[in-house]
Chain A
Amino acid sequence: MASAISIKGVNKSFGKSTALSGLSLDVPEGSVYAFLGRNGSGKTTTIRILLGLIRADGGQTRVLGCDPYLSPEHVRQKIGFISEERPFYGWMSVDETLRFTASFYREWDWDLVKSLMARLGLAGGSTVNSLSRGMVGKLALIASLGHRPNLLILDEPTAGLDSVVRKQFLEQMIEVVSAGARTVFFSSHLIDEVESIADRVGILHEGKLIHEGTIDEIKETVVRVRALFEQDVDVSDLPESLWDIRQLGREVTFVVSGFSDKLAQELERRGARKVDVLGLTLEEIFVAQTAQEGGSHS
């Protein structure tokens, strides 16, 4: 399957601060890709590179087959984008906002826009300032779909919405997006909204992609291990990368990506009497793997 987004070895720094470090990912056409990461992990920087707003320091970026920095206008004609801030002009009415947005695109499907407005319950005469955050989110969704984009990029689309509105918004978004069979790339740090809609997930941590795959693949790979030892033992020097290491007496638990026989043998060699492998939810995986920054090794 062709890739709607292809990123290979992309680096990006702002002064001494590294935002992205060797980031590589592929988003197949027609898929819904959830881009997970904590605040400051590099999600927005990645999206800005995808939109051609900034240039990567190194690596290769292709969006719908084009370099977004070299052909930003061409790429953006085919992309719908909703940002976390939903930066609309408060004084404009909904109709004016849509007309203003439409003026930037070569093609604009007013029938689709009107049907979406009717379906989402958005009145054209209301000014943006008078809309609730949920309604502004709906406006952003409609404005991003009016030119029938091949790729929809959503940067924290539900940020700032309460849980009820968020759920409602997500349901409507899934409904609208799935009707078009288009690729969706959306970033979030809210795991529960990802599990219900994403085909594939990428977890970004400190500028590096630490996991990528379908949700099931990730759940199968990343597990929590609970080992009971005969005596006190230190497991931090194990060759595998371990996350979220906790020690309670002689019982040690940790999260590991890809539990292997080799690791089981090593634990036994160190005196483990019993080793249990436990499944994790996506949220648990995310928290375990991205909480390292806080220093929670034990």
Chain B
Amino acid sequence: MTALMWKEWRENRLGFLIFLASGVLMQSSLYSLDQKRPDLLVCLTLFLLAPAYIGMVGASVIAPEVGEKTLAFLLSRPMARWRIWTAKTLFGALLSALATIALLAFCGIVGPARGTVFILPFVEVTSAFLFIFSSAVFCSTLFSRAMPGFLTSILLVAAFGTATYSLDLMAFVPAIALVGSVGLLATSLTIFCWGELLTGYRQYVWALTGLVATTATLYCVLHGIGLAFRWSAAAPYRDLVLKARDRSVIVYTSVDSILGVRTQIVSALSNHSPGPKVVGSPCSEMWAVVPDGSGYIGWNYSNHFGLPVSRDHDKPLEFIPFSGSPVRLEIAGHPSGFQLGYPSGFQFSKNGQQALFLMENESLVTGDLQRIRYNFSSPGSGVMSDPCERLPSPSQKLVLLDLRSRQCETLAMFDHEAIRNFCWTPAENAVRFLKHPQPGQHAWSVCEIKIDGGRAGQLSKIELPEFEPLESSPGRVQPHLDSWQLIPGRKELLATNTKTQKPFFLLVDPIEKRILWSIQSALLPLRHVSPDGRWGMAEGYAPDTKGWHHRLLDFERGRIEATWPESVTIVGFSPDSRKLSFNTHNYVNDGHGRGTWTHQIHVRDLATGTVQAFDTDRPGSSGGFHQDVWWSDDSTLMTVGGKTTVIDFLRLSDLKQVR
């Protein structure tokens, strides 16, 4: 076998040196043309030359021996056919790897782009090169000359690439290329060993059969993985748990990986169902659960294998019902119908038929890909837009979704992050949003767009002026950057004034243009607002204790009702706005150097201010839930285990009250 490798080296060494010299010349030429991206030159050199060389080496493994009739010499020696094939193929693989590494080393150390740091997707590149080599070796056993084999292998690789792309399997290139390569090499070996029995068309029929069998096997394996994945439900990802407004269904997203590709699956858990059920596509991303709990708004990015696609920009926004087929949500103005940005902040109307959401970062997506640019030069009536000059497409859009018509309408769009927050007006006949000024300007404004029959109507805009100070305020309250916040369900705005020595938290009426009340405290934006809009929870810094606290605000009375330390986890308001729940985690030391953690849920009656504590550590529970507790209904809490996949429904009446 060593002698055979020596022979192979003697036959290939000239090509090897030509390959390296070509790499040097090519890189030098490219470098003289453009010196800005040396890393790109390295990649270009590698990706243009290496596949061609690897293909030629692979195509030269068997075919030339047949063409020059020297194969008879080898076959008549006391050496098994499989050993001959293995030695030659192994040498070809080693030479290809060596040539590629040598070229890279030259580029990185000696060449004109030396010192350039280039990062290659190693697994993808290696697997692709392996497939090129394997297909060339395969073709080499079919042809008696290297060149036809090489050209056919190019077709094979092109077919492979096209099929992989069109079937949305690009994310699985390494796995598919590996399986395909093994199949091709096995077919090549089989033909080589049994080729004497196959003559003329039979050899090709057999080879084709091998290819079809390999492809079919690959398809079945992938489909099987997809099916298996569809029926598995991984642990809930805490931050991605959403719930229907009527609390009948919890939908959560789990993150898992399949064949090395990060994938999300969406599961639904009903308080009447025995366990979680994977819903919709096994590879989907969830943005919001519709209020009636019949489905969710999300991305479906699985192909027909049930595996995730790899083209991020082609995911259509869909309504994915828990039973039935997904429905694509048409976004007006998109020529492709595909979603380009990332939706966030879904806010449904009370009747559940309409929703507001922000579509962000479209410009980044389109700017990166340079693929789809759509023209908003003549937006519809009611659409507010700043000039989109800096970026090819909007960076931020406020979109109205009508679930009845499955249509999305753009209400406003900007080439910068102009919308601070947005909400329905209390009567839900209009949409309000706070508009950040354009770069270089300072005037914030409150904008309202009337919604009439599910369509955008008249736009009104109030620029936020200076406000007359309250008598209790030490100075005039000026609108500052990052200082305004809408309160869902209320007409007033929250603002902070951090310009004074002691920061103030203020509630202002933008229409009456007056400050309603002020509290001396620095608060971060609201985290939770009660459904009736009266109560709000915010985190803030207390200068007296020099610590961060949770604060319960009563907007009606204009005061801080309660303060908790940061270690307390605030969870939320009950659906009837009468109760607030929060968690505490206490470490109890037994005095002998040992201690235990206790977890309790606290429920505050917002009307009376009384607090009840409940012990949740009970057998069969989620065993130390972490932070996640929600009100399921007015008397039931739901917890998601921090350590397990259990989701508990806890009735307050069943819990042990702690004194």
A interface residues (Cβ-Cβ under 8 A, vs B):
14-15, 48, 51, 53-55, 72-77, 81, 83, 85, 87-92, 99-101, 103-105
Task: Name the one of B3, B68, B199 contacting A104, with C-beta atoms under 8 angstroms.
Answer: B3
Is B197 in contact with A54, judged by CB distance below 8 angstroms?
Answer: yes
Is B196 in contact with A54, judged by CB distance below 8 angstroms?
Answer: yes
CA distance A89 to B65 in the complex (A): 9
Binds A, one of B70-78, B127-135, B151-159: B70-78
Please name all residues of chain A whose beta carbon is closer than 8 Å to the beta carbon of B196 when the two chains form the complex.
48, 53-54
The yes or no answer to B69 lying at the interface (CB within 8 A) is yes
Task: Name the one of B70, B78, B200, B202 contacting A89, with C-beta atoms under 8 angstroms.
Answer: B70
Is A73 in contact with B199, judged by CB distance below 8 angstroms?
Answer: no
CA distance A74 to B80 in the complex (A): 10
Is B80 in contact with A72, judged by CB distance below 8 angstroms?
Answer: yes
Please name all residues of chain B whose beta carbon is closer than 8 Å to the beta carbon of A103 when the two chains form the complex.
2-4
Task: Name the one of A48, A54, A89, A90 contacting B7, with C-beta atoms under 8 angstroms.
Answer: A89
Task: Name the one of A15, A55, A90, A105 contacting B199, with C-beta atoms under 8 angstroms.
Answer: A15
Q: Please, what's the 1-or-0 string for B1-44, where 1 marks a CB less than 8 Å from any CB in chain A? A: 01110110011000000000000000000000000000000000
The yes or no answer to B79 lying at the interface (CB within 8 A) is yes
CA distance A75 to B80 in the complex (A): 12
Is B73 in contact with A53, judged by CB distance below 8 angstroms?
Answer: no
Is A83 in contact with B72, judged by CB distance below 8 angstroms?
Answer: yes
Is B79 in contact with A87, judged by CB distance below 8 angstroms?
Answer: no
CA distance A15 to B198 in the complex (A): 9
CA distance A77 to B645 in the complex (A): 67
Q: Which residue of A lies closest to B83 (CB)?
A: A73
Give the distance to chain A from B270, nearest Cβ to Cβ, in Å.
66
Instruction: A72-B78, A92-B7 are known; give 12 further A-B pairs, CB within 8 A.
Output: A48-B196, A53-B75, A73-B79, A75-B78, A76-B76, A76-B78, A83-B76, A85-B72, A87-B72, A100-B7, A103-B3, A105-B77
Please name all residues of chain B whose beta carbon is closer than 8 Å to the beta carbon of A99 when the two chains form the complex.
3
Interface centre among A51, A54, A91, A104 (most CB of B within 10 A): A104
Is B73 in contact with A88, judged by CB distance below 8 angstroms?
Answer: yes
CA distance A154 to B76 in the complex (A): 12
CA distance A83 to B68 in the complex (A): 14
Please name all residues of chain A whose beta carbon is closer than 8 Å to the beta carbon of B69 when the two chains form the complex.
85, 87
Q: Which residue of A lies closest to B80 (CB)?
A: A73
Is A77 in contact with B197, judged by CB distance below 8 angstroms?
Answer: no
B interface residues (Cβ-Cβ under 8 A, vs A):
2-4, 6-7, 10-11, 68-73, 75-80, 196-197, 199-200, 202
Interface centre among B4, B10, B76, B197 (most CB of A within 10 A): B76
Give the distance to chain A from B14, nearest Cβ to Cβ, in Å.
10
Is B199 in contact with A76, judged by CB distance below 8 angstroms?
Answer: no
Please name all residues of chain A whose beta carbon is closer than 8 Å to the beta carbon of B68 when the two chains form the complex.
87, 90
Pull 29 A–B residue pairs with CB atoms less than 8 Å apart, ordered by A.
A15-B200, A48-B196, A53-B75, A54-B196, A54-B197, A55-B197, A76-B76, A76-B77, A76-B78, A77-B78, A81-B76, A83-B76, A85-B72, A87-B68, A87-B69, A87-B70, A87-B72, A87-B73, A89-B7, A89-B70, A90-B68, A91-B10, A92-B7, A100-B3, A100-B7, A103-B3, A103-B4, A104-B79, A105-B77
Please name all residues of chain A whose beta carbon is closer than 8 Å to the beta carbon of B4 when the two chains form the complex.
103
Q: Which residue of A lies closest to B202 (CB)?
A: A15
Give the distance to chain A from B90, nearest Cβ to Cβ, in Å.
17
Please name all residues of chain B whose beta carbon is closer than 8 Å to the beta carbon of A85 when the two chains form the complex.
69, 72
Please name all residues of chain A whose beta carbon is closer than 8 Å to the beta carbon of B197 when the two chains form the complex.
54-55
Give the distance to chain B from A210, nearest Cβ to Cβ, in Å.
27
Contacts A91-B10, A103-B3 given; indicate if A14 touches B76 (C-beta within 8 A).
no
Please name all residues of chain A whose beta carbon is closer than 8 Å to the beta carbon of B76 when the two chains form the complex.
51, 53, 76, 81, 83
Q: Which residue of A lies closest to B70 (CB)?
A: A87
Please name all residues of chain B whose beta carbon is closer than 8 Å to the beta carbon of A92 when the two chains form the complex.
7, 10
Please name all residues of chain B whose beta carbon is closer than 8 Å to the beta carbon of A72 when the two chains form the complex.
78, 80
Please name all residues of chain A whose beta carbon is closer than 8 Å to the beta carbon of B2 when the two chains form the complex.
103
Is B10 in contact with A105, judged by CB distance below 8 angstroms?
Answer: no
Interface centre among B68, B72, B73, B80 (most CB of A within 10 A): B73
CA distance A85 to B77 in the complex (A): 15
CA distance A104 to B4 in the complex (A): 9
CA distance A90 to B10 in the complex (A): 12
CA distance A105 to B6 in the complex (A): 16
Give the distance to chain B from A69, nearest Cβ to Cβ, in Å.
11
Give the distance to chain A from B100, nearest Cβ to Cβ, in Å.
26
CA distance A104 to B197 in the complex (A): 25
Contacts A14-B199, A53-B196, A54-B197 given; indicate if A88 touches B79 (C-beta within 8 A).
no
CA distance A27 to B442 in the complex (A): 108
Is B77 in contact with A87, judged by CB distance below 8 angstroms?
Answer: no
CA distance A100 to B7 in the complex (A): 8
CA distance A91 to B14 in the complex (A): 13
- Nearest first, the 8 closest Cβ-Cβ pairs linking A and B are A103-B3, A76-B78, A104-B77, A87-B73, A73-B78, A77-B78, A87-B72, A54-B196
Please name all residues of chain B whose beta carbon is closer than 8 Å to the beta carbon of A83 when the two chains form the complex.
72, 76
CA distance A4 to B199 in the complex (A): 31
Please name all residues of chain B whose beta carbon is closer than 8 Å to the beta carbon of A53 when the two chains form the complex.
75-76, 196
Q: Which residue of B lies closest to A90 (CB)?
A: B68
Q: Which residue of A lies closest to B73 (CB)?
A: A87
CA distance A289 to B576 in the complex (A): 112
Q: Which residue of B lies closest to A147 (CB)?
A: B78
Please name all residues of chain B whose beta carbon is closer than 8 Å to the beta carbon of A77 when the two chains form the complex.
78
Please name all residues of chain B whose beta carbon is closer than 8 Å to the beta carbon of A54 when the two chains form the complex.
196-197
Q: Which residue of B lies closest to A51 (CB)?
A: B76
Contacts A14-B199, A91-B10 given; indicate if A104 touches B72 (C-beta within 8 A).
no
Please name all residues of chain A whose beta carbon is closer than 8 Å to the beta carbon of B72 when the two chains form the complex.
83, 85, 87
Give the distance to chain A from B7, nearest Cβ to Cβ, in Å.
6
CA distance A83 to B73 in the complex (A): 9
Give the distance to chain A from B598, nearest Cβ to Cβ, in Å.
76
CA distance A54 to B76 in the complex (A): 11
Give the distance to chain A from B97, nearest Cβ to Cβ, in Å.
25
Please name all residues of chain B whose beta carbon is closer than 8 Å to the beta carbon of A101 when the two chains form the complex.
77
CA distance A133 to B499 in the complex (A): 102
Please name all residues of chain A whose beta carbon is closer than 8 Å to the beta carbon of B71 when the two chains form the complex.
87
Q: Which residue of B lies closest to A101 (CB)?
A: B77
CA distance A101 to B74 in the complex (A): 9
Please name all residues of chain B whose beta carbon is closer than 8 Å to the beta carbon of A90 when the two chains form the complex.
68
CA distance A105 to B4 in the complex (A): 13
Q: Which residue of B lies closest to A103 (CB)?
A: B3
Give the distance to chain B from A87, nearest Cβ to Cβ, in Å.
4
Please name all residues of chain B whose beta carbon is closer than 8 Å to the beta carbon of A81 when the two chains form the complex.
76
Please name all residues of chain A whose beta carbon is closer than 8 Å to the beta carbon of B202 when the two chains form the complex.
15
Please name all residues of chain A whose beta carbon is closer than 8 Å to the beta carbon of B10 when the two chains form the complex.
91-92
Give the distance to chain B from A298, nearest Cβ to Cβ, in Å.
37
CA distance A53 to B84 in the complex (A): 14
Please name all residues of chain B whose beta carbon is closer than 8 Å to the beta carbon of A91 when the two chains form the complex.
10-11
CA distance A83 to B75 in the complex (A): 12
Please name all residues of chain A whose beta carbon is closer than 8 Å to the beta carbon of B75 when the two chains form the complex.
53
Please name all residues of chain A whose beta carbon is closer than 8 Å to the beta carbon of B11 when the two chains form the complex.
91
CA distance A73 to B76 in the complex (A): 9
CA distance A73 to B6 in the complex (A): 21
CA distance A89 to B10 in the complex (A): 11
Give the distance to chain A from B102, nearest Cβ to Cβ, in Å.
24
Q: Which residue of B lies closest to A14 (CB)?
A: B199
CA distance A87 to B68 in the complex (A): 8
